[in-house]
Structure 1
Amino acid sequence: MANLAYIARPYALAAFEYARDKQQLSAWKAFLEAASYAAKQAPIEKWLVDPQVSSEKLLVLFNEVLASLLNNEQKNFLILLAQNKRLMILSDISTLFNAHIAALEKMSNVRLITAVAPQETFQQQLATTLGKRIQHKVTLHCEVDPTILGGAVIHMGDRVIDGSVRGKLTRLLQNLIG
């Protein structure tokens, strides 16, 4: 998956820069999210990796499914992806495109994983503190995972802060063994 994200980066950046320059960010966001959703559907997902299904057939399929959203530039974008056999990375392109929008708007989605559900006041304080640290408006997405035993794991883009009990025990074990 990381390899596909690496391949998707230039496509996402090109789409973002075009959409930003033409002031069409919301239209491109809707198009890429719909294309990503379509690409994740079971039959289409199978066809995307099936070498017997031609790129032309996949392009026709995407054009039909997304007809109400497509303008000429988006059709050309799909043609480019189909010609380079890159339609399977649409979800990665969409994710990276949304990350570019968030960076432009100085917004960050932060994932907080805790062993028990955190209180609302803690969530607000953490979002404020992280926002000051990274100089972005932070949207906190909380998940509960009792297997971390305690503490928290924070995912901010490419950064991970592991303050979980499980993480600390794992590092301690590695230090004792290694």
Structure 2
Amino acid sequence: MANLSSIARPYALAAFECARESRELPAWKAFLEAASCLAKQPAVVRLLGNPELSTARIFDFFHEILAADINAERKNFLLLLSQNKRLNVLPEIAEGFNLYYAALEKISKVRVITAVETPDSFMNKLSQALTKRIQREVSLQCEVDPALIGGAIIHIGDRVIDGSIRGKLTRLLESLTG
């Protein structure tokens, strides 16, 4: 079976193009995030896996819950996903849509993992430095992992900058034993 992100990519691109053409990017983003959140719920996952439920009933369920965020285009999109039994791919579709949206807005999502909680002032300086370095707006996603001992690991797209003490110790050990 194909990987879910491969299945989601064309749907995400179609949603993004429709949203861009109709100048409704924020509304589509909100709709896809709400739909993604709904599709991740354990009860809904079981519902989507139930072969006895018709696609029409499942569509009605999604449509009723997401009614506040739905217009004609989003209703058709949801109907298409339902008919193709792809509602379970909504989280990956939302993620793909957000990547297209970020690329359009020239925003890079940067994941920063530190050993301890870091002050906002440091994160602001880091954000400014990264913005200058990669020449794009930066959206920081901060996490804490005490196993790093100290320092930080920064993920920018598929690049990783490992400035953690754990990483340095691992590299030192590899150089001594290698």
When the two structures are superposed, what TM-score results if normalisation uses the length of structure 1? 0.86
Distance 1:6 1:166, change over 3 A: farther
Q: Tell me by how many angstroms 1:24 deviates.
A: 1.0
State the SS of the aligned residue for 2:3.
helix
User: Which residue number corresponds to residue 62 of structure 1?
Assistant: 62
Distance 1:7 1:165, change over 3 A: farther
Distance 1:123 1:56, change over 3 A: same
State the SS of the aligned residue for 1:68.
helix
User: Which residue number corresponds to residue 104 of structure 2?
Assistant: 104
Alignment of 1:7 with 2:1, yes or no, is no
Q: Tell me by how many angstroms 1:172 deviates.
A: 4.8
| Rounded Cα–Cα distance in structure 2 between residues aligned with 1:6 and 1:168 | 36
Aligned length, in residue pairs: 177
User: Which residue number corresponds to residue 16 of structure 1?
Assistant: 16
Structure 1 unaligned regions, length at least 5? none
Aligned-partner residue type, residue 14 of structure 1: A
Query: Which stretch shifts more, 144-153 or 43-52?
Result: 43-52
Aligned-partner residue type, residue 41 of structure 2: Q
User: Which residue number corresponds to residue 33 of structure 1?
Assistant: 33
Distance 1:77 1:162, change over 3 A: same
| Rounded Cα–Cα distance in structure 2 between residues aligned with 1:175 and 1:55 | 57
Q: Tell me by how many angstroms 1:162 deviates.
A: 2.4
| Rounded Cα–Cα distance in structure 1 between residues aligned with 2:176 and 2:64 | 59
Aligned-partner residue type, residue 126 of structure 2: L
Q: Could you list the runs of 4 or more consecutive aligned residues of structure 1 that deviate by over 6 angstroms after TM superposition?
A: none
User: Which residue number corresponds to residue 46 of structure 1?
Assistant: 46
Distance 1:48 1:163, change over 3 A: farther
When the two structures are superposed, what TM-score results if normalisation uses the length of structure 2? 0.86
Summarize deviations over 1:102-144 as a string: whole Å, max 9, x none. 2211122212111012233332221112112221111222221
User: Percent identity over the alignment?
Assistant: 58
CA RMSD between the two structures: 2.2
User: Which residue number corresponds to residue 142 of structure 2?
Assistant: 142
| Rounded Cα–Cα distance in structure 2 between residues aligned with 1:169 and 1:52 | 55
